[in-house]
Amino acid sequence: MTGIAAQGIAVGFDARTGLLDGFTVEDHGRAVAPLHRAPWVGTDEVMPPDAAPLMATLGGDFFCAPFGGSEAGSPLHGWPANTPWHVIGEGDGRLQAVLARTVHGATLVKELSVEPGHPFVYQRHVFIGGEGRVPFANHANVSVPDGALIRTSRKAIWQTPPNPQESDPAMGRSALVYPATSADPARFPSLTGTTDLTRYPWNPRHEDFVVGIEARGNPLGWTAVTRLGKGDLYLSLRHPDRVPMTMLWHSNGGRDYAPWSGRHLGCLGVEEGGAFNMLGLVPERDLTGPAAVELDRDAVVEVRHVIGAVAWPSEEPVADVALMGGTVEITGEGGTVRHAPFRAGFLD
């Protein structure tokens, strides 16, 4: 395990699967560490022979290409989440690594950086060359053992993909309707009527996946997870015209087979990307940005994304997140306002 740090922030990097782990922000005299770790991680438990390599380190934050799929026999979420990365530069709050395999023929470079006093990890993934159309996503896993309040930038609609996470009752259970849509995430079609997706948990044992389609005209794409019982806030920031989908994975004891074994609880996946394969009833033309990266053997394509964390003692849901030059302004529904320094222009 290697990593980077600056005043008030540190994040580890597990080169085995490209995982960001141990993300911690020192804010208002307390350590905020919002990312999840599966209960088997760090033990000597042997993974099932058919498990993807990412399962052994499941948690933290990792990059997927193709998201929710495979390439030429790669495990789920592609080689970036399942193959070693070679660190080629490290120091002064910066880390650069290159994937040991290509993605559809493209060399993939990961760039991570932190700044003194900034509660954010700045991420850039660069595809050099290659051919094809590859769905992508940044896959953060937020630890919410005591529940959470979830808010996002304005969405045109919410939807589920064509198929549930679990359809065989002998293996597990999903609780939403697939496919389905709703303009209101607080009233999404479920097997028992409607469900409020702005809260976690909303079912005692389930595995579900829902997609928010960004509304047009938003200046910033954001997801804010208020972690109840923790007094802090997880933030995900992106450019809505380049990363048009917010995908939420509600993993709360809904899988009964190994290694899950009904014990993977309190995990909210906040997965920001462009993934045509996860679209259900909403057509791709309705997105504000690309539903995949378009690789070209003579071109360079990049994906930028930011994760962050701050103390949030009020534990109120977030009403808005706005970029104001070199500052992020966070406004709570109860009136709390926080400002945090941000690298101006990073998401442009």
> Would you list the DSSP string of 177-201?
-SS-EES-GGGEEETTEEE-TTEE-
CA 3 to chain centre: 19
Q: Note whether residue 347 is domain-resident.
A: no
Sequence-separated (6 or more) residues with CB below 8 Å from residue 163: 178
Question: What's the pTM?
Answer: 0.97
Q: What is the pLDDT of residue 296?
A: 97
Q: Note whether residue 194 is domain-resident.
A: yes
3-state secondary structure of 284: helix
Q: Note whether residue 346 is domain-resident.
A: no
- The CATH number for 17's domain is 2.70.98.10
3-state secondary structure of 283: coil
- Return the amino acid letter for 335: G
CB-count exposure of residue 99 (10 Å: 0-12, 13-18, 19+)? buried
Sequence-separated (6 or more) residues with CB below 8 Å from residue 324: none
Q: Note whether residue 348 is domain-resident.
A: no
Structure tokens at 147: 């529940």
- Return the amino acid letter for 231: G
Asked whether the CA dihedral 69, 75, 120, 292 is positive or negative, the reply is negative
Count the Cβ atoms, other than its own, within 10 Å of residue 320. 16
Encode pLDDT of 275-298 as tens digits: 999 999 999 999 999 999 999 999
Q: How far is CA 140 from CA 35, 53, 81, 92, 216, in A?
A: 7, 17, 12, 24, 24
Q: What is the pLDDT of residue 182?
A: 98
Asked if the bond preceding 259 is cis, omega within 30° of 0, the reply is yes
Q: What is the pLDDT of residue 1?
A: 76
Range of the domain at 295: 2-341
User: Residue 25 — φ and ψ, nearest 5°?
Assistant: -120, 130
Sequence-separated (6 or more) residues with CB below 8 Å from residue 213: 155, 156, 157, 158, 159, 244, 245, 282, 286, 287
Q: Note whether residue 182 is domain-resident.
A: yes
Residue recorded with tokens 């995990």: 267
Asked if the bond preceding 201 is cis, omega within 30° of 0, the reply is yes
> Is the CB of residue 34 less than 8 Å from the CB of residue 142?
yes
Q: What is the pLDDT of residue 20?
A: 98
Q: Note whether residue 7 is domain-resident.
A: yes
Q: What is the pLDDT of residue 72?
A: 85
Structure tokens at 338: 């926080």
Structure tokens at 112: 């991570």
Q: Note whether residue 152 is domain-resident.
A: yes
Q: What is the pLDDT of residue 187?
A: 98
**Structural domain count of the chain:** 1
Q: What is the pLDDT of residue 92?
A: 95
Q: Note whether residue 234 is domain-resident.
A: yes
Q: What is the pLDDT of residue 330?
A: 98
How far is 321 from 339, CA to CA, in rounded Å? Answer: 10
Counting as low any pLDDT under 50, the low residues of the chain are: none
